[in-house]
Amino acid sequence: MTGRLTGKVAFITGAARGQGREHAVRMATEGADIIAVDLAGPLPPAVPYDSATPDDLAETVRLVERTGRRIVATAADTRDLDGLRKAVDSGVATLGRLDTIVANAGICVPEPWDAITPDSFRDVIDINVTGTWNTVTAAARHIIEGGRGGSIILISSAAGIKMQPFMVHYTASKHAVTGMARALAAELGQHNIRVNSVHPGAVNTPMGSGDMVTALQRAFESNPQLAHMTTPFLPAGIAETADVAATVCWLAGDDARSITAAQIAVDLGSTQY
């Protein structure tokens, strides 16, 4: 590894497993200390994959500490702004600074448009949009106060570039995250803070496999001609968490110091047609 993040501190949401854990471990391997947050508890009932647990968050802690870096981990809900502020404040008090925010936490519920309930729509928007806003609101002031500039990375989705069928609420939420990143980039640029969005397609995590795939296939049955809208160009067909984490680390480091308000797709080409 390059050590490109040596001396920096990153705040990561949804860090208990999947992409969030990969971001934490990869950034620690690159030299960063980590402030980690995860709900580590039950997700809304419409979500078709298992929730992360306290044991999952503890495993992230173990893996980060194995790199030799420090980590402050808290179970918190990104919909709870006060809870996020307490988690970030505690982490900064322990680790001394903040340089990077990775707003990773989110949910996905594949459903035809007319099967989406008011509760399901609300849950997706609250977690993916309000939760992302709360993450930035709770933490950005620490980067500003540090006076060193920094990087904010919002994890959107391929659905934040190109609409994805059978996910109206998810597509709406991820387009909102894309716009949020661009708007924040404009206002935070005066503090030398870069804001970019990352757009994974299918990724080999609990969100991208297992019961999630079954739910998506069931939704496709309602309109089969839409099934090939997200076909990738590359033969792997699905990205690994390490692919997304490598992009996040690059955006967090000085190699990307001139890049802001960009949408970086990690989707094997699936959004390009």
How far apart are alpha carbons 126 and 39 in whole angstroms?
A: 14
pLDDT value of position 205: 81
Q: Catalytic one among 170, 184, 256, 264?
A: 170
Residue 273 is a catalytic residue: no
Which residues of the chain, if any, have pLDDT below 70? Answer: 1, 207-210, 212, 219-220, 273
How far apart are alpha carbons 155 and 87 in whole angstroms?
A: 20
pLDDT value of position 211: 74
Structure tokens at 66: 């194995």
How far apart are alpha carbons 152 and 142 in whole angstroms?
A: 12
pLDDT value of position 222: 76
pLDDT value of position 163: 85
pLDDT value of position 214: 75
- Please report, as a single letter, which amino acid is at residue 132: T
Give Dmax over CA atoms of the chain in angstroms.
54
DSSP of 246-269, one letter per residue? HHHHHHHSGGGTT--S-EEEESTT
How far apart are alpha carbons 76 and 87 in whole angstroms?
A: 8
Torsion of CA 43, 44, 48, 50, to 10 degrees: 20
pLDDT value of position 232: 83
pLDDT value of position 114: 93
pLDDT value of position 122: 98
pLDDT value of position 209: 55
Per DSSP, 208 falls in state: G
Per DSSP, 271 falls in state: T
